[in-house]
Amino acid sequence: MNAPIKKIVLPVAGLGTRFLPATKAIPKEMLPVLDRPLIQYAVEEALEAGIEDIILVTGRNKQVMEDHFDHAYELEKILQEKGKEEALEISRSMLLEEGRISYVRQMRPLGLGHAIWCARKLVNGHPFAVALPDDLIKGKPGALKQMVEAYNELGGNLVATMDVAKEDTSKYGVITPGARKGKNIEVKGLVEKPHPEDAPSTQAVVGRYILQPEVMAYLEEKAVGAGGEIQLTDAMAKLIGEQPFHALEFEGRRFDCGSKLGWLMANLSMAAEDPYLASKLKELITFQ
């Protein structure tokens, strides 16, 4: 039996420079897609997958996320007095039992690998999931649930992948694929942001992972990789051959909400599912 996945690390310390000035005073993870901030989508996806402990790796100016997952007493009191039950319920919907959300600070922006390493004491020797909240994935079931189901069968380490255009491989971690069984692909190698000419395949890693705790020892080495940063991809690559390592070509659509286009598309895609918003969108498009 594979040890169950009960913990998730959500790295949320990034500066969000591609969204300035919107992200000058608010974290990029609090940008809404329709009515919910990005961080909430990631937490909801984790809960759907049966994950219990949420670990946020934060940085300076990220405190507002703690408030988002806490009571807003003044607001709740006013809504209660006014009898606005529905709004009250929505404002309380993200209140997990105390102790289930933890926060740890990444004190220096040294890369994704370093951010994950900052959570090592909270991960505490258990296998764990990672989700990058910028990567919003619409899937039924959600991508993390698909990952947990695949992990229960395969064990070891797992990355979510999707096929991308060859010229786009330089934006992602890319796998060297081995044998494929349905949606599961054996991972023989991993490289971070290769030049398209050198990319070992077009299977690109998106921001969902299930990792064994041994990855922390490799992150501890603090080897500097692509872009001068401590890369999660490099530490994961060292596990290949030591532990099972697979990619799951997940089902669903991924939006890169760290970019304006991806964020806009995510909003439009969510709006298209709401009959009222969809009809208004159609009007807008037809009249222009």
* Closer residue to ligand G1P (CB): 53 or 192: 192
* Closer residue to ligand G1P (CB): 101 or 131: 131
CB of 93 to ligand G1P, least distance (A): 27
CB of 116 to ligand G1P, least distance (A): 10
CB of 231 to ligand G1P, least distance (A): 6
* Closer residue to ligand G1P (CB): 84 or 222: 222
Q: Is the peptide bond before 21 cis (omega within 30 degrees of 0)?
A: yes
Sole binder of ligand G1P in the list 56, 137, 206, 235 (CB under 6 A) = 206
- C-alpha 239/C-alpha 39 separation (Å) is 29
Binding segment toward ligand G1P, per CB under 6 A, in 22-30, 51-59, 203-211, 263-271 = 203-211
- Residue 88's H or E segment, with its range, is helix 85-92
* The three-state (H, E, C) secondary structure of 264-288, written as one string: HHHHHHHHCCCHHHHHHHHHHHHHC
CB of 112 to ligand G1P, least distance (A): 5
Beta partners for 255?
A: 136
Beta partners for 128?
A: 211
129 Cβ contact partners less than 8 Å away, ≥ 6 residues apart: 5, 7, 8, 9, 46, 49, 51, 144, 147, 148, 208, 209, 210, 211
* Closer residue to ligand G1P (CB): 143 or 205: 205
Sole binder of ligand G1P in the list 37, 156, 177, 207 (CB under 6 A) = 207
Residue 4, both tokens: 């169950």
CB of 233 to ligand G1P, least distance (A): 5
Q: Which residues of this chain interact with ligand G1P, rule CB under 6 A? A: 112, 132, 135, 172-173, 192, 204-207, 232-233
